[in-house]
Amino acid sequence: MRLVDAHCHLESVLFAEDLGRIVSEALDAGIIKLITSTISPDQWDLSRNIAQRFPAVEYALGIHPWYIQESYRARIPGLHRAKELGAVAIGEIGIDRKIENGDFLLQMRFFEDQLAIAKEIDLPVVIHCRGAFNELIHSLKRIGSPQSGGIVHSFSGSAELADELMRFGLSFSLGGILTLRNSRKRIEVMKKIYPNHFLLETDSPDIPPVQKKGEINYPKYIVYNLQAAAEIVGDTIENVAQNTTRNAFRIFNLS
Ligand SMILES: [Zn+2]
């Protein structure tokens, strides 16, 4: 079985001590590629180092809406070099109305500026969006989207919204939330996005599957998400693995 963890955070301090073991356990679980997403410019060099150390790891450069600081604004133009530095995506970028004390207008500016660079250099985007899908669509209409598309990770919207986002070339990665009790809405989304616009993720060290509730999440736990996805879409584990891996290779231009 060949799997891709389309979204994780190997830069996390929780993984710092033991990264070699964590990556090798991921490979043992069937993962052939992991795409680690940075959350702030302070991680950009680290992320690149991790990708150089482990052939299975690819990386994305970006500034996550939760970690925006005015002082990071000057770092955004540096993303123009992302492709030549070997990054496979711009991310994790996005907008989030559910965080307290968030300056939403500043989030929008950071998101749109990073989206515009991704489009310009044609790297796919890794998008985080909570409670702000209307604004997301608005930004996509205003700025456009990269030719290579991208993913909305841990997607929580409706099937109709998925349809609309697919028109911008976007796909969707889901992880631990698949193992929770699934609403009719989630099942409809999965039927809409599978097989061609669905990817597997772990978002580790966050969002563990229900089987590991309360624990640190690791990429190797992707198998629980795979199992849950197969049950929801009514396909075999092998087919879900094959389809999600093919989608990840296409979107992130992996080889
Ligand atoms: Zn994330």
The pLDDT of residue 182 is 75
Structural domains in the chain (count)? 1
What's the CATH code of the domain at 243? 3.20.20.140
Asked if pLDDT for residue 209 goes beyond 80, the answer is: yes
Asked if pLDDT for residue 213 goes beyond 80, the answer is: yes
For 41-77, what is each residue's pLDDT tens digit?
A: 999 999 999 999 999 999 999 999 999 999 999 999 9
The pLDDT of residue 73 is 96
Cα separation, 251 vs 126, in Å, equals 11
How far away, in angstroms, is 93 Cα from ligand 1 center? Answer: 9
The pLDDT of residue 181 is 82
How far away, in angstroms, is 9 Cα from ligand 1 center? Answer: 6
How far away, in angstroms, is 190 Cα from ligand 1 center? Answer: 20
* Secondary structure of the chain as H, E, C letters: CCEEEEEECCCCHHHHHHHHHHHHHHHHCCEEEEEEECCCHHHHHHHHHHHHHCCCEEEEECCCHHHCCHHHHHHHHHHHHCCCCCCCEEEEEEEECCCCCCCHHHHHHHHHHHHHHHHHHCCCEEEEEECCHHHHHHHHHHHCCCCCCEEEECCCCCHHHHHHHHCCCEEEEECHHHHCCCCHHHHHHHHHHCCCCEEECCCCCCCCCHHHCCCCCCHHHHHHHHHHHHHHHCCCHHHHHHHHHHHHHHHCCCC
Is the residue at 103 inside a domain? yes
Cα separation, 174 vs 45, in Å, equals 27
Is the residue at 19 inside a domain? no
How far away, in angstroms, is 8 Cα from ligand 1 center? Answer: 6
The pLDDT of residue 77 is 98
Is the residue at 83 inside a domain? yes
The pLDDT of residue 163 is 97
Return the amino acid letter for 35.
Answer: I
How far away, in angstroms, is 255 Cα from ligand 1 center? Answer: 23
Q: What is the reported pTM?
A: 0.96
Is the residue at 33 inside a domain? no
Is the residue at 57 inside a domain? no
Question: Percent of the chain, pLDDT > 70?
Answer: 100
CA dihedral 207, 220, 233, 172 (to 10 degrees): 60
For 149-190, what is each residue's pLDDT tens digit?
A: 999 999 999 999 999 999 999 999 999 999 998 789 999 999
Instruction: State the chain's mean pLDDT as an integer.
Output: 96
Which residues, in sequence order, are bridge partners of residue 143? none
Give the range of the structural domain holding residue 242, as residue numbers without chain letter. 64-199+207-216+223-251
Asked if pLDDT for residue 133 goes beyond 80, the answer is: yes
The pocket of ion ligand 1, defined by CB under 5 A, consists of 203
